[in-house]
Structures are given as structure tokens and as C-alpha cells.
Amino acid sequence: MKYARSLVTEAVKLVLWLHAQHVELRDLRQDLVDEWVTAGSLVRRRVRLFLAWLERAGVVGSLEVAWHDRVPTRRALDDERRFAILRRFLHESELDLRDRFVGSVLLLYGRPLTRIAALRTGAVHIRKGGFVALELGRGLIPLPEPLSAIALALLQRAGEGGWLLPGRHAGRHITADRLRQRLKRYGIDRSVEGRHAALLALAVRLPAPILAERIGIHQARASQWARLAGATYADYVAVRGPA
């Protein structure tokens, strides 16, 4: 009973926090979830079930709640393997279009499969000059070729339900579990390892505020990735020795 009461309490606290910032519940974004969760105690993570209910009700898109504030320690795909798999997705046209898109976005931009699965067709933007951009956070990420062509082809195939990756049931998107099963055939046994490799690579190149804005994570978490990327790169240089 105490646990159930805390679930309701944390949901109410989140709604009140949004109201104080003049943000409607339907406008809840991942960076706002991260900000609210990381600013409080561990019990705030119990809002996870409330967010899942909001997603099922169609109020918000897919939102995640991290289990803890520590940067994940699960190993990442090494660069050689990551690039080898990525080359397949980008250049082997006989592969399934969905697999090529999902795998590329995972390995390039570190998006969780739950978020990729729930992408709307409106997330793909055709900008002036013909270049294609993908909306992942609060900004647009220009897609390189051939990923831009893959995204456009996927957009043209999407039905009228508004999902970029429609599921088996009408009006619903493909599930993250289904995507995990599909990616295993390409050597991605754990999607989180591919995601972490992409985030480390991005954190080496982008300042934390830009990383946070581009891919829709809280700046505090982006800063954690930047620190981890710096340490990882330093270890790599130390192992290699002087050039």
C-alpha cells in the first residue's frame, strides 16, 4: 500500500512541477524528465509507471527514466566492430530498410530503441536545399548520405498512422523488443552497448550543452558522458603510447 501511494505521489509531484513551469503534460520531453528525476531523491524514479501509462494513452511519446544517476558501466561496442556493422546498414541495399535506419540511428546517435521505435513521420524533415534532418531532441540533426536516402524511403513507405516504423497492429508503432530481435542478426546482441559507443563518440566531439540539445538528454547526463569519454580516450592514448 505504501509503495502504491508513493507511485501516485510522485506522479502528482511531476504534474505540479510542470504546471509551475507552465508546461502542459502533453509537452513533456525527455530532457524535462531527466531534469526532474536527477534533481530529487531515488524515489522519483517511480514515476516510470506513470509515464508508461501516459504513453499507452497517447498523451506523450516514449520517455525513459534512468535507474540511477551513475553513468552506465556496461561496456560499449569497440569502434572497429561498430563501424563494421554501421557500414552494412549504410551500404548494403538488400538489407531491410527498417533495420538499416534503426541500426544507423542507434550506432550514430545513441538513441534508445524505445525512442527510435516511437518516432513519428514528422520527425523526418526535408529542409530547404533538399537536405534531410531528423528531430531527436530540441534541434534537427542533418542526416548524411546514404542515411538521408534511407530515412526518405522509410518515410514514403510509412502508412497513415503517423508512425515512421508502423507495428503489426494498426495504429501502433513497432515495439522496441521487436527491434532488438531484428538487430541481433547483425551482431548487435545488446543494443545498449551500441548506444553507449555512439554516445561516447559524440561526447568526444560535442560540448555537453550541444550534445544535450541535439539528442534530447539532460545537460547533467551529457556532462557525465563527456567526462567518461575524456577518461576513455585518455586510457586509449595511454595504451597506444606515443605516436
Query: Is-contact 121 163, C-beta < 8 A?
Result: yes
For residue 225, is it within any domain? no
What's the pLDDT at 144? Answer: 92
What's the pLDDT at 66? Answer: 60
Which among 142, 166, 188 is the end of a domain?
Answer: 188
Strands across the sheet with 132-135, in order?
A: 124-126, 132-135, 140-142
What's the pLDDT at 134? Answer: 94
For residue 164, is it within any domain? yes
For residue 216, is it within any domain? no
Q: What is the pLDDT of residues 138-151, one digit of tens each?
A: 778 999 999 999 99
pLDDT at 153 over 60: yes
Residues 100 and 151 in one domain: yes
Residues 100 and 181 in one domain: yes
For residue 24, is it within any domain? yes
Cα Rg of the chain (Å, integer): 19
The 10 Å Cβ neighbour count of residue 189 is: 11
Residues 100 and 182 in one domain: yes
Choice among 126-135, 159-168, 184-193, 220-229 with the minimum mean pLDDT: 220-229
For residue 62, is it within any domain? no
What's the pLDDT at 30? Answer: 79
pLDDT at 62 over 70: yes
Residues 100 and 153 in one domain: yes
What's the pLDDT at 165? Answer: 94
Nearest to 161 by CA among 195, 191, 127, 120: 120
Residues 168 and 119 in one domain: yes
Residues 173 and 99 in one domain: yes
Residues 99 and 51 in one domain: no
Number of domains into which the chain is organized: 2
Top mean-pLDDT range of 21-30, 34-43, 77-86, 169-178 = 77-86
pLDDT at 234 over 60: no
Residues 99 and 181 in one domain: yes
What's the pLDDT at 137? Answer: 73
Using 50, 70 and 90 to split pLDDT, how confident is the model at 184? very high
Top mean-pLDDT range of 33-47, 68-82, 94-108, 216-230 = 94-108
Using 50, 70 and 90 to split pLDDT, how confident is the model at 29? confident
Average pLDDT of the chain to the nearest whole number: 83
Residues 99 and 34 in one domain: no
Which among 167, 188, 209 is the end of a domain?
Answer: 188
Residue 144: phi and psi, rounded to 5, are: -75, 160
What's the pLDDT at 32? Answer: 81
For residue 25, is it within any domain? yes
Query: Is-contact 207 222, C-beta < 8 A?
Result: no
For residue 32, is it within any domain? yes
Residues 99 and 173 in one domain: yes
Q: Note down the domain range covering 182.
A: 95-104+114-188
pLDDT at 74 over 80: no
Residues 50 and 127 in one domain: no
For residue 90, is it within any domain? no
What's the pLDDT at 237? Answer: 39
Write the secondary structure of 36-96 as one string of H (helix), E (strand) and C (coil): HHHCCCHHHHHHHHHHHHHHHCCCCCCCCCCCCCCCCCCCCCCHHHHHHHHHHHHHCCCCC
Q: What percent of the chain has pLDDT over 90?
A: 34
**Grid coordinates 522519483 are at which residue?**
44
Residues 38 and 99 in one domain: no
CA atoms in the 13 A half-sphere facing the CB of 197:
23
Q: What percent of the chain has pLDDT over 70?
A: 90
